[in-house]
Structure 1
Amino acid sequence: MRKLFAEFFGTFWLIFGGCGSAVFAAGIPDLGIGFAGVALAFGLTVLTMAYAVGHISGGHFNPAVSFGLWAGGRFSGKELLPYIVSQCLGGIAAAGTLVFILSGKEGFAIDNTKAGAFATNGYDAFSPDGYSMGSAFVAEFVLTMFFLIVIMGATDKLANGKFAGVAIGLALTLIHLISIPITNTSVNPARSTSQAIFAQGESLSQLWLFWVAPIAGALVGGFIYKLFLDKKEDL
């Protein structure tokens, strides 16, 4: 249960900090943090929770990461479902908290006809810069694949584990700097699900892509590291 609570709280912090920065702080005139600030916020959530609870659960906070680590031989398949449920519940709880805070502002409403409403992910008309479904799929696939390679390399027994959280947090920051204009950046099905549940509308219809593409990319990234980059024992 300690592991599952760690995943719940870690994912809560990722969604609350990352999506919260997008909905509260990104668009404030003159003082807003913009895309770069949101990207940094997502990276900081993972970095801080990696050191806070990563030693308890491994610090996945993301169903795609759990699948990728399983593919890479670093995680037990029997723990996949409990981890994913905990991650999704943590994300939904964070999104609900964001809605509660936002409701304290007069006139608050989620306009789910606009791209990126309530920090949702999307493609075509719901991509922040109008990217197609194919572009969105490839971006989410490739970025999650490389995210897993970074995670597996940074946490390899031959790497300097003290800096793993820094490398992983910076990788997530870079991923957001690249792809916020494309999909509003997912690479995390729990993150996409939590926002779509409250935004409803087209973000729910497009949610499939933000499960399939990140998980597929993570599986490939995990297999690549295991097969080609992991140090094999000498025969």
Structure 2
Amino acid sequence: MVLAGVDRAVFVAGPDAAPVPLRVTGLDRIATVRPLPLMHGGSAVSDSPVWHLVLSHGNLMGDLRYAAPLRVDLPAGAVHWEAEPWQLAPDDFPVDLAGIPEHDPHVSLTATLLRAGVRYVCSEGSRIRNNVGSGADYFSCVTLDADGAVAEWTYQDSGWKQVSGKWAIRGRFTGCGGYALLAPVFRRLWNGRTRVLRLADGELLTPRLPRGLTSAEILDHHLDRGWWLRLDDEVVAVPDILG
């Protein structure tokens, strides 16, 4: 299934199947936020029919600050928003604006994972639209309690505005739900190479890519297929990159 917007989706059963349009209902729930949030980046992983989809500010494209639960029932052809969009509380994160006045206080919400009823999220700083130009103030991967407050810190790096240079990390969860891929935006961190965060214990792991694939991009991990890597236009699967 592909979401073409907050109000429409397309389902394709297989490579030879015709696309089937699906109408997304419950739009009134996300319309409680104005301007209407948009789908513009971000990622979501779930082991249940409910996905907490990342949404962008309606006018500030790429300003990922919301998530909203979308229930998907493909056998019934039903897709609907279950509740209003939610945000992270800025006071829960190490926001550092480096003396810049903030007229719209918020923090980014860029990736979600729902696994065994537990919500994980990544936040890539308080001003995500400026990350490439001026760097971020922090990166956090956390779990949330039922009220949306931070329950546990899985990984955090902060204090970047107090040191020289620009720093930022992009994070997303793997399809298996066991890891997060942390990709530095600038080469000064980890020589620009992706690290793998193991969610079970919060350990940050350095991948060991096979010979001939040392410059490949790490795409995803699936329990039955191993790790997916991309080198140029080729995608390959390898059983392990962490041993």
TM range (shorter): under 0.3
Write 1 or 2 for the structure with the bigger share of helix.
Answer: 1
Look at both structures and tell me which one has the larger radius of gyration over its CA atoms.
Answer: 2
**What TM-score does the superposition give when structure 1 sets the normalisation length?**
0.20
Higher relative contact order (CA 8 A, sep 6+): 1
Report the TM-score when normalising by structure 2: 0.20
